[in-house]
Amino acid sequence: MKLVNFPKMAVPLGVVAIVMLLVIPIPAALLDVLIVINIITAVLILMTTMFVKRPLDFSVFPSLLLVMTLLRLGVNVASTRLVLTNGYAGEVIGALGQITVGGSLIVGFVIFLILVVIQFVVVTKGAERVAEVGARFTLDAMPGKQMAIDADLNAGLITETEARRRREEIAAEADFYGAMDGASKFVKGDAIAGIVITLINLTGGIAIGMLQQSMGVEDALNTYALLTVGDGLATQIPALLMAVSTGMIVTRSQAESDLGSTASRQLSQSQTALLVAGVAAISIGLISGMPRLPFLGVGAVLIFAAWRMRRQKAADEVEAQRQEAAAVATPEETTQDLIEQMKVHALEIQLAPDVVDIVGGGGDDLLARVKALRKRIAMDLGILVPPVRTRDSVALPAGHYAIRLAGVEVGRGQIPRGKILALGDNLGSLPGPELTEPVFGLKGKWVPAELRHNAELTGAMTVDRVSVVVTHLSTLIQKNAARLLTREDVRVLTDALKEYSPNAVDELVPSLMTLAEVQRVLQGLLEEQVPVNDLARIYEALALQAKSSTEPEKLIEAARSALGPVIADKYVDDGRLRVIMLDPSLEQAMLEGLRPGENGAQIVLEPSRIEAIHAAVRDVVAQVESRGQNAVLVCAPALRPAVRRLVSPQAGGLAVLSYQEASAVGSEIETVGVVRGTEQIPS
C-alpha cells in the first residue's frame, strides 16, 4: 500500500482492529501501546477543539467520537481479560494503580469514584444537554437564515456562488449539531459502561483470586483492587478528556480566533474588573488565619495586569490622536480640489465618523457591495448607475448614515458599530430598543454582534450593517431610476446599441427624435419600473410611432406595447396574473371625460365621483392584500396613462396595465376585484 493512501485506510483498518480486540486476546505489551494511543489521541482531540475557530472546522468530531468510544471499550475488554486471567495487565495499568492507590486502597477508590462522578454527572450530562438544545435551536433557525441568504441574493449583495456556499454551510451546521446530539449519547453510554466494567473487574478478580488461586481475602483485594483502579483510570482519563472535548465543541460559538485567544481577550477587556479582583484577593489574604502568600501573589499579578492595561490604553489613544492629526493635516487645496468639492454627485452615501469602518477596502466591504449592486441594477433595469461617492460627515449623529441623490437627502438610517440588525416578531428577549427597519417597515433591534446566534435562535433574521446600507441604496435607486438617467447615459446606451443594431438607431436618431426626446421616453418607462434593457425593441417601436406623432405619452405607450410580455410577466404569481377590472359603465364615463393636457391626458369627472373612485380602488386593493395576493389594475389602452395618474398615487403605487399588456404574457388571468366608483349622494 502506498504511503499516500495510508490516511485514507488508517481509520477503516483501525476500526476493524478495534472490533478484533473484543474477541482476540492480546499481550500486555500491546495493551500498553493501545492505552498510550488512547490517552494521547484524547489529548490531541481536546487541544484541537480549543484551537478551532468554528465547530464546523472540526466537523469530523461526531464520527471521531464514536471511533474513540469503540477504542476505549475494546481496550477495556482486553484489559479485563488480562486482569481476570493473568492478574497482570501491563505496566501502564499497574503504574496508574500504584500512583492513585498509593498506600491506601480506600483513598484510591475515593479518587476513582470522584473522577467517575465528574465525568458522568457534570461534564457528560452538561455536554449532552447542550448538544440537544443546540441541535433543536439550529434547526429552528434554518428558515430565517435561508431567508436572509435569499434576501441578500435578490438584492444583489452576494453572487449565486456565495449564496450556494452559505446554504451548504447552513446545511452542514444543522447536520453537525444533529450528529453531535446523537454522538453525545456515546459519551454517556461509555461512562456507564466504564463503571459496570470496573465493578465486574473488582468482583470477578476477588472471586478468581479466592476460588481459583487460593488467595486470602486481603491478598485478592490488594492485587485485583489495584489492577481495577489502574484499569479504570486507563479508560476513564481519556473518556473524561473526550467528554470535555464534546462539551467544548458544542459550546463554541462563531469566533474570529481560537478559544485561548478569545478567552484571554475578553477576560482582560475590563481594567476595573481586574483591579477589583486583585484588591479582593489581597483583602482575603490579610484575614487572620489565611495563607497570605498565595492570595497576595495572585492579587499582585491582577493589579499589575490592570496597570499594564491602563498604560496600553493610554498609548493606543495617543496613537489614534496622532493618526487623526496626520489625516487632518492635508496639503493646501487647489482650484481643482474646490471644483471637485463643489460638484453635485448623482449618488452619495454619507457616514458618521464612527461607522466609516464599513469602508475597509476588503472583499466584502461597502465599496465592493455597491459595485455588485450597480452591476445587478444595470442587468435588471438597463440603466447605467452612476458611481456612488462615499464620504464621512460630522453633521450626522453617531451610528447613522444618509443617502443623497443629486445633493438632496432621500434616505437615512442607523448602523451602530459592533452590532447587527435582528428582524422578527419575537425580539423581546434581546437587548436594545425596538425600531422599524426603513426599507420594508419590519420590526427589528440592533443587538451586539456576539449575540447573533442568540438572535437566530429566536427565529429572527440577522442582517449585517453593510447589507442594511446596500439594501436601502438599492431600493432608492430603483425608486428614482428615472431621475438618474441622464442625457449622457442615453448617448452611451445609443452608441452601444448602434454597434450591434445600427438600423434601429439610424432610423430613429436623429432623423425622427432627438436624444432629449428619447431620454424623456425612457424616463417615462422607468417611472413605472419598466426595464429599458431591450433598447432595440424600444427604438423600433419609437421609430414607427414617431412617424405619426411625437407626443411623449403616445411614444411611451408605443414602447410599452412592444414590451408588453416583459411588463406583465413581473406581476405573474403562481402562473396567474391577478387583475382588478373597471366597471364597464365607469370605464365608459372615464373615456367620455378624457381630456388632453400639457402633462398628458386627464380624466375630468365630478370631484365626488373622483373621491368615490379613489375609495373604491383602496377598498379593492386592501381586500386583495388581506388574502396575501398582489394584483394590477387593467383598463383600455387609451385610458391607461390617465388612469395611472388618477389612482396609482392613491393606492400605494398600484400598477396599471392595458388589456393588451395583460393578455400578452400568456398566463391565466384571474379577476380578483371590480372598481365601481359609484358616486355617493349625501342623504
Q: Measuring CA to CA, which residue among 378, 374, 356 is closest to residue 365?
A: 356
pLDDT higher than threshold 80 for residue 463: yes
CA distance 649 to 643: 11
CA distance 345 to 408: 10
Lowest-pLDDT range of 365-369, 640-644, 669-673: 365-369
pLDDT for the residue 635:
94
Lowest-pLDDT range of 27-36, 90-99, 408-417, 460-469: 90-99
CA distance 126 to 106: 29
* pTM summary value: 0.55
Q: Please return the burial class of 654, using the count of CB atoms within 10 Å of its CB with bins 0-12, 13-18 and 19+.
A: buried
Beta bridge partners of 422: 445, 462
Confidence grade of residue 264 (pLDDT, cut at 50, 70, 90): low
CB atoms within 10 A of CB 74: 21
CA distance 642 to 634: 12
CB atoms within 10 A of CB 40: 12
Grid cell locating 60: 469530523
Beta bridge partners of 675: 582
- Which pLDDT tens digit goes with each residue over 468-484? 999 999 999 999 999 99
Question: What is the Cβ-side half-sphere exposure of residue 514, based on CA atoms within 13 angstroms?
Answer: 4
Q: What is the mean pLDDT of residues 206-232?
A: 68
- With contact defined as beta carbons under 8 Å apart, do 248 and 130 qualify? no
Q: Measuring CA to CA, which residue among 77, 357, 60, 66 is closest to residue 204?
A: 77
Q: What is the mean pLDDT of residues 86-104?
A: 67
Mean pLDDT value across the chain: 80
Element at 635 (helix H, strand E): strand 632-635
Domain locations in the chain as residue ranges:
11-142+149-260, 268-314, 342-480, 485-562, 568-675
How far the first Cα of the chain sits from its last, in Å, is 100
Rg (CA), the chain: 38
CA distance 369 to 163: 14
Q: What is the mean pLDDT of residues 304-327?
A: 74
140: left (phi over 0), alpha (psi -120 to 50) or beta: alpha
Coil/strand/helix, residue 614:
helix
- With contact defined as beta carbons under 8 Å apart, do 175 and 490 qualify? no
Q: For the domain 342-480, what is the CATH code? A: 3.40.30.60
Give a three-class secondary structure readout of 266-314: HHCCCHHHHHHHHHHHHHHHCCCCCCHHHHHHHHHHHHHHHHHHHHHHH
Beta bridge partners of 597: none
- Specify the CATH architecture of the domain 485-562: Orthogonal Bundle (1.10)
Q: Which residue has the cell 460627515?
A: 393
- Which pLDDT tens digit goes with each residue over 487-546? 999 999 999 999 989 998 999 998 899 999 999 999 999 998 899 989 999 999 999 999
Q: What is the DSSP letter of 530?
A: -
Cα–Cα distance list, 27 to 83, 193, 360, 527 (Å): 12, 23, 63, 86
- With contact defined as beta carbons under 8 Å apart, do 465 and 419 qualify? yes
Grid cell locating 102: 498509593
Grid cell locating 614: 379613489
pLDDT for the residue 5:
57
CA distance 47 to 61: 13
pLDDT for the residue 99:
65
pLDDT for the residue 556:
92
pLDDT for the residue 100:
61
CATH of the structural domain 568-675, one choice from 3.30.565.10, 3.40.50.150, 3.30.70.120, 3.40.50.12790: 3.40.50.12790
